[in-house]
Structure 1
Amino acid sequence: MRAKIKHAVYATTTAAALTFGSLAISPGTATASEVRPQACDVFTFYTVNPYGKTKFKSRGPVVGKYNSSASSSWLNMSVKTTKSRSTTWVGEAGGSLDWGIVKIEAKTSYEVSKKVSSGVTVTNRMRVDAKKRGFTQPGVLYRKFEIEKHRQNGNCSTTSLKSWYMNGIVAKLHFAECQTKRPSCKPKP
């Protein structure tokens, strides 16, 4: 009789252990419908993308000088600027120019000038071949930028909210140059 009771106790203990074990394991397994999506903080952020090539815009007239020597020489050509140039929004404005410039400079390696004035004398030191005329023209280089506002959503996806475009002055003094044996040529940046 003792053997039967002992066997019944072992059987009950084993069954209880297996049942308890299966209960301990089952909360850890979840079906696909019970998996919750990952949660992210919701916030807005900006990206800046430069695109296209830089564009030259003149700041003054073309000036030239003749190299009469028998070898190439460095010639200094001075010119007074006659045009001012500014960084501008393209299409719909995105706020103040300062706001856009700060975004560009924070997100890219470019430095953007807000404005360059006219009435300034600038000098280009240009190497001109023997018996040729060298011509130069002062200007600025513009680069186009897209400033885009995004939102990170609670499900970790992102949504593009709005875009602005800015023509930024990335070089406030750049010289276009050419040289020729003819009376003139068109300077190229």
Structure 2
Amino acid sequence: MTVRRRAILAAVGAVAAAGCGWSQDPGGDSAGGDEETPRPTLAESGGGDGPIEVDAGRLLLTIEDLDAGAWRETDVQTTKTCNTFRRGNEDYSFVIESCAEVFEDEAAASEEFDAAVDRAPKLLGERADREPEIGGKTAVFTNDGGFPRSDGPTIRLLFRDTNATGRIDFTEEIRSDTAEIPQYGIADVSVWGARMHDRWRG
């Protein structure tokens, strides 16, 4: 089966933000001449100072955080600290996996976050040039199809807030060149991450 990955930074969908505790910051890039091409806004969710004292299973993304009716929760690779959602048909397949982990202290969480950031380029190939602000530290990695490994995530969002870490992997497989395919990108993943993180300090 031939799988065609779309260019992530060029294919970004808009997600409604009404009623949520995160904000989106406008941004723009110069695209030659005097004209500016707007860049997608990236959601934000501020961190805190005190430790997070909640079971990791309560920090995960939920079906209510996603587009109503479009996604379904699955039991694929689901653990107490990860859950998975799927959307697709014969033309495409999208998978979201969210994971969270709570550590004894901030130093341990920071060490794990830094290790995850170091590992990510081996799977995805490059770090995004723009990243949302979620918690205390955030990193986003993308694979637009040019990286040799094609069985990993298309977008990976990593974030840390004091003694807890979070991860969202978005993976897509496109099996049609003619069908209408929903568009998702870094802006969407940042919204999911912000909604997920809001629960940590809620």
User: Same fold judged by TM-score > 0.5?
Assistant: no
**TM-score (structure 2 length as normaliser):** 0.24
TM-score by length of 1: 0.25
If each structure's strand is expressed as a fraction of its own residues, which one has the higher value? 1
Which one has a bigger Cα radius of gyration? 1
